[in-house]
Structure 1
Amino acid sequence: MKTAIITDSTAYLSNDYIEQHDDLYVISLSVILNQSSYKESHEITTNEFYAKLKQVEELPMTSQPSIGEYIDLLEQLKNKGYEKAIAIHLSSGISGTYQNSITAGKSVDGIDVYSFDSKLACMIEGFYVDFAYKHKNQRTADEIIDEMTKMRDQTTEGYIVVDDLSNLRKGGRLTATQAMIGTMLHIKPVLTFEDGLIVPNAKIRTLNKALKQIEHYFEDIVHQYPDEQIHATIIHANNEDAAEKWLYKMKEKYPNINITLSHFGPVIGTHLGSGALAMGWVIGDF
């Protein structure tokens, strides 16, 4: 039985990875800048987005793929002979993409859609895509969803350090006064995901201390799961040099753990702003 894997553009998988996986399909979210809408990865590059971000006063908007777009994709897959699709999407707490996959799946006969809410985004979402792809011919779709749910609920974590508080203020997550005080005090908030929502984890005075806090969280995981496969990623928003230095440090300390470098593209970068750094991990056999 032919199975497709669907994900969305906020997994920020590399073009090489996408091209090398024939049964993988990516549906794009959009970012709206100065009243112009761009599908990320297709109509605007990450570098172009961060360059434009410096020039806008108002926070850009983001939008999910419409149900119509999703139905069109499923119709195309059905016509290609796919009978099943496993759809892995960014957190339903920050986007309606996951819900639209469910609605679209009910609207198209001839292909069964199994939707998964990663409750995160970016390369951590991408790890689930990789897991599903590698197991799609050995396990049933239900078994894959069940295993990913266990991974998500028991061992997956992600932490973000925001460099510039202005986007959080523009997005209503901080008042202007809080942002001003935070900037004056050099506060580097560490954010995490709870129940699919981005929430504060800690308020730390310097970037180095904030990164060290995340490193402590990761060290605890390594000690807790010494014999498990840990897949980790360091993610940056237009801050590649700092991310590469952090990656080198972590790889030097944990040479036997797969730690990759990724980025925040336009949709997620809209909310975090330029300069953000993050680290996340998934534990699983893939």
Structure 2
Amino acid sequence: MKTAIVTDSTAYLPQEVRERLGIRMIPLSVIFGEEAYREEVDITADEFFAKVKQHPTLPTTSQPAVGEFVDLFTALREEGYDAVISIHLSSGISGTYQGAVTAGAMVDGLRVYAYDTEISCMAQGFYAIEAAEMARAGRTPEDIIARLDEIKQTLRAYFMVDDLSHLQRGGRLTGAQAFIGGLLQIKPLLRFENKVIMPFEKIRTRKKAMKRIEELFAKDAEKGVPLKAAVIHANQPDEAHRWRDELSARYPHVEFLISYFGPVIATHAGEGAIGLTWYQP
């Protein structure tokens, strides 16, 4: 069986990785006024952050139309694929996963397995990479889905934002009431829980928030088992590289990547967000 791997742009996989592994990408969009830009296609993360500074109002975001999924799945069928595993950001913050489910039922002659990672960014990217490597090795869709479910058991991700107001305004933060009083003074740690973004701990400074993420990471890293990890940042490349280098020196058995919050997720997280995700490969 020939299986294709699809993910959406919020995995923020570099183009060379997608090309090397044959991962197809369907983009979400950011909308400034009347202009829509498909992230990773029409607008890069750097261009997005520059544009936000010039624009009086925050952009909005939109998921791919069902028709875009239908077109992609149809093209894959025509290329001779028997199955597609379509891996997406959490259904709790976007309708993208449901769009893949709907489109999959509309394309005959192709088995479409939509997969809800219940998360986003490079954490989602880890799922897509493993799935693509397994597909290239000739593994069945059922084997691949079983492995993705396995990843879900060890995958962790924590992040902090500089300003909670973006997440609130976009309706992407759940359980925020406890944080409202100290909105300007705190750097809360956030995580995905039951498919939505939830406050994890209230922390006063950026430095302490990053230290707390390190402590959470150490609980797994100090077991000595192999891990893959990614530092994810919103327009903070120097800080991200510095943090990666420090962690890498401390945990040489962990493979570290640097990734980023691209336009769609950064619309909600805001510039300055930073986080760490990891799992057991």
TM-score over 0.5 (shorter chain): yes
Structure 1 residue 133 displacement after superposition: 1.1
| Aligned 1:163-242 pairs, distance under 5 A | 163-172=162-171, 173=173, 178=180, 181-183=182-184, 185=185, 187-224=186-223, 226-227=224-225, 229-242=226-239
The answer as to whether partners of 1:59 and 1:171 remain within 8 angstroms in 2 is: no
* 1:1-12 matched pairs, under 5 angstroms: 1-12=1-12
Q: Which amino acid aligns with 1:266?
A: P
Residue equivalent to 2:14:
14
1:9-158 equivalence runs, <5 A = 9-21=9-21, 23-136=22-135, 137-152=137-152, 154-158=153-157
TM-score by length of 2: 0.93
Number of positions where the alignment pairs a residue of Structure 1 with one of Structure 2: 276
1:221 is displaced (CA, Å) by 1.2
- 1:283 Cα deviation after fit: 1.4
User: After TM superposition, which residue ranges in structure 1, 4 or more long, deviate above 6 angstroms?
Assistant: none
Q: TM-score, normalised by structure 1?
A: 0.92
1:251 pairs with 2:233: no
* Unmatched segments (≥5 aa) in structure 1: none
C-alpha contact (below 8 Å) 2:166/2:269 kept by paired residues? yes
CA distance in 2, matches of 1:198, 1:140: 32
What is the alpha-carbon distance in structure 1 between the residues aligned to residue 255 and residue 140 of structure 2? 26
How far apart in 1 are the matches of 2:60 and 2:98? 19
- d(CA) in 1 for partners of 2:170 and 2:77? 39
Deviates more, 1:162-171 or 1:7-16: 162-171
Deviation at 1:56, TM superposition (A): 3.2
SS of the residue corresponding to residue 198 of structure 1 reads strand
Amino acid of the structure 1 residue aligned with 2:183: G
Is this contact kept in 2: 1:34–1:56, CA < 8 A? Answer: no
Letter in 2 for 1:63: S
Inter-partner Cα distance in structure 1 for 2:76 and 2:167:
38
Q: Percent identity?
A: 45
CA contact (8 A) 1:92 1:99 kept: yes
Query: Alpha-carbon deviation of 1:19?
Result: 2.1
Instruction: Specify the alignment match of 1:273 in structure 2.
Output: 270
* Cα-to-partner distance string for 1:246-282 (whole Å, 9 max, x where unaligned): 1111101111210100000000000000010010112
- Deviation digits for residues 123-163 of structure 1 (CA, Å, limit 9, x no counterpart): 111111111111113421112111211221x2111111101
Q: Secondary structure at the match of 2:183?
A: helix
TM-superposition CA deviations, 1:183-204 (whole Å, max 9, x none): 2x3x111100001101101111
Tell me the SS of whatever aligns to 1:25.
Answer: strand
Q: 1:168 to 1:101 in 2, by over 3 A?
A: closer
